[in-house]
Amino acid sequence: MRFHKLCVLGLGYIGLPTASTFATHGLRVVGVDVNPQVVETLRNGGLHIHEPGLRVLVQAAVASGNLVISDRPEEADAFIIAVPTPFYVDHLSAANPGEPQQPDVRHADLRAVISAAEAVAPFLRPGNLVILESTSPPRTTVDVVAPILERSGLKAGSGSNGDGFLLVHCPERVLPGHILRELIENDRVIGGIDLSSALAARDLYSSFVRGEIVLTDATTAEMVKLMENTYRDVNIALANEFSRLAERFGTDVWEAIALANRHPRVNLLNPGPGVGGHCIGVDPWFLVEAAPDITPLIHAARTVNDAQPEFVVDLIRRTCGSLEGNHLTVLGLSYKPDVDDLRESPAIKVAQTLARAGALVTTYDPLTPTATVPGCQPAETLEAALHSAECLILLVAHTSLKNLDARRVATQSSARIVVDAVNGWVASDWQAAGFHVARLGVGEQMLSRKNGA
Ligand code: SAJ
């Protein structure tokens, strides 16, 4: 192995597990973050993010002496950039008074990538390898990162001749909640700006990756990552649209999806309150921004998924009669089940919209019991959340919420209505315990039949 010392820029959900895994596989790693609080927390043995198994891994990496935390990069054999790439929204006003409002335009926010590349440039030496792991719009590696690094005086892609540096895009593809396992087991796509760059990165990652490592060019690797998340977004949008159709036609979308998925070439995902997190709701916009004239489907899928929290609010309104002054308890706040990550959570959007409509909303999430939502009352225990509610709304299928016992809840809560937006509960159990049940994607005729009306 030609790489002994690594510098990882960005110690978030991807950078910290990656830095720690390299360190526990024998490399010397400097983990760098620009946020002084992150640096201080990690140096004091703490952790600023939650991911199963991460605490033990970081502790092992630090204890081995191979991982040191720093606020600036230093000379190394290889540099990994793993910083966030969110988007920002341009709210365009109408061209002239009286004309229709222009649609919002989203732009990839590459500031963190740019400053990380600028921070690396002064330390680049001939033969060094630079890896961009951050999800990025097509051509970022070639058109944005390479020119910044070339300010070092070295040329991108001539690393093997000894007078330049090596550069690849190697997108992170790990699933929050399963990051440590997927980091090792998933196949890895490495896109080099030339073959010697890709081969060098394969050499580095093969120190711990057990999945297959496949080589391609940098822009294809960028596309692959964006296509994966866009595929998922479009598939979820389709499921969400099916949930609306099922309501209209008086059918049960969950049953219909399960039956459709028995077809050997159909694999529909699930409807829900919308798409949250920092990846799937973001990355498709990078493609739309790069080529708005040829991406109507991707754009439409984003629009459908962004409108889904409102659709769920509408279901709650129809079920409860009105929202004004109604005591509603929202169960689950995170962006998906069994994680405590609240970023861009559709459940939070639902809770906020209910509160804005005049409902008296209590929120409870077993994984983040102290989380607060503006306009809502947080409950730190399930008992407090259930106590004085008129309606219980399941927005995240956390295992502990799915496992709630309907008969027990009936004794703990004054609520007699439940709305299940994630197919987390067996409707007949709740009906047997005396609840009126409404479910996302289940038409009224089907509901009243199942509610015994
Ligand atoms: N969701 C649904 N219905 C579904 C599945 C998900 O509504 O059937 C919602 C979830 O509740 C959540 C959102 O979609 O709000 C996204 O959740 P997710 O589990 O689909 O994905 P992420 O954002 O946690 O992680 C994704 C993964 N990408 C793919 O599976 C293609 C992960 O592998 C990537 O590494 C990650 O994005 C990333 O960092 O890009």
Whether residue 441 has its Cβ less than 6 Å from ligand 1: no
Judge if 132 and 260 occupy the same domain.
no
Residue with tokens 């983040």: 368
Torsion angles phi and psi, residue 419, rounded to 5: -120, 120
Rounded CA gap, 361 and 289, in Å?
37
Q: Is residue 236, in this structure, part of any structural domain at all?
A: no
Digit-coded pLDDT (tens) for 172-218: 999 999 999 999 999 999 999 999 999 999 999 999 999 999 999 99
Q: Whose CA is nearest to atom 14 of ligand 1?
A: 275
Final residue before a domain boundary, out of 196, 219, 242: 219
326, 349 in Cβ contact below 8 A? no
225 is catalytic: yes
Q: How far is CA 95 from CA 88, 101, 261, 421, in A?
A: 21, 8, 47, 39
Distance 295 CA to ligand 1 centre (A): 21
> Kind of pairing, strands 360-364 and 377-378?
parallel
Final residue before a domain boundary, out of 200, 219, 238: 219
What DSSP string describes 192-205?
ESSHHHHHHHHHHH
Short-list 47, 48, 39, 46, CA closest to 68: 39
Judge if 363 and 215 occupy the same domain.
no
Judge if 389 and 446 occupy the same domain.
yes
Q: Is residue 398, in this structure, part of any structural domain at all?
A: yes
Q: Indicate the helix (H) or strand (E) that contains 148.
A: helix 146-149
Q: Which residues fall within 8 angstroms of residue 376, CB to CB, at 6 or more apart? A: 330, 351, 352, 355, 361, 362, 363
Handedness of CA 105, 288, 197, 170 (dihedral sign): positive
Mean local confidence (pLDDT), 257-279: 97
Which token pair is 337? Answer: 């089940």
Q: Is residue 244, in this structure, part of any structural domain at all?
A: no
What is the reported pTM?
Answer: 0.94
377, 361 in Cβ contact below 8 A? yes
Rounded CA gap, 406 and 397, in Å?
15
Distance 208 CA to ligand 1 centre (A): 24
Q: Is residue 123, in this structure, part of any structural domain at all?
A: yes
7 is catalytic: no
Whether residue 136 has its Cβ less than 6 Å from ligand 1: no
Rounded CA gap, 392 and 328, in Å?
6
Digit-coded pLDDT (tens) for 319-346: 999 999 999 999 999 999 999 999 999 9
Sheet holding 360-364, edge to edge: 377-378, 360-364, 327-331, 391-394, 417-420, 436-439
Mean local confidence (pLDDT), 231-255: 97
Judge if 175 and 311 occupy the same domain.
no
Judge if 94 and 143 occupy the same domain.
yes
What DSSP string describes 314-360?
HHHHHHHS--TT-EEEEE--SSSTT----TT-HHHHHHHHHHHTT-E
Q: Is residue 241, in this structure, part of any structural domain at all?
A: no
Mean local confidence (pLDDT), 245-254: 96
pLDDT, residue 2, reads: 83
Judge if 105 and 170 occupy the same domain.
yes
Q: How far is CA 261 from CA 253, 265, 376, in A?
A: 12, 8, 38
What is the band of 445 on the pLDDT scale with cuts at 50, 70, 90? low
Among the listed residues 7, 170, 225, 320, the single catalytic one is 225
CATH of the domain at 22: 3.40.50.720
Instruction: Give the domain extent around 56.
Output: 5-219
Judge if 76 and 191 occupy the same domain.
yes
364, 378 in Cβ contact below 8 A? yes
Q: Is residue 224, in this structure, part of any structural domain at all?
A: no
Q: Total domain count for the chain?
A: 2
Whether residue 176 has its Cβ less than 6 Å from ligand 1: yes
pLDDT, residue 158, reads: 72
Judge if 301 and 438 occupy the same domain.
yes
Judge if 33 and 158 occupy the same domain.
yes
Judge if 260 and 176 occupy the same domain.
no
Probe target for ligand 1 pocket from 278, 336, 343, with the most ligand atoms within 8 Å of CB? 336
Q: Which atom of ligand 1 is nearest to the CA of 308?
A: 7
Judge if 195 and 263 occupy the same domain.
no
pLDDT, residue 405, reads: 98
Judge if 438 and 299 occupy the same domain.
yes
Q: Is residue 377, in this structure, part of any structural domain at all?
A: yes
Query: Hey, what's the torsion of the CAs at 55, 56, 60, 61, to 10 degrees?
Result: -40
Q: Is residue 164, in this structure, part of any structural domain at all?
A: yes
Specify the 3-state DSSP secondary structure of 433: coil
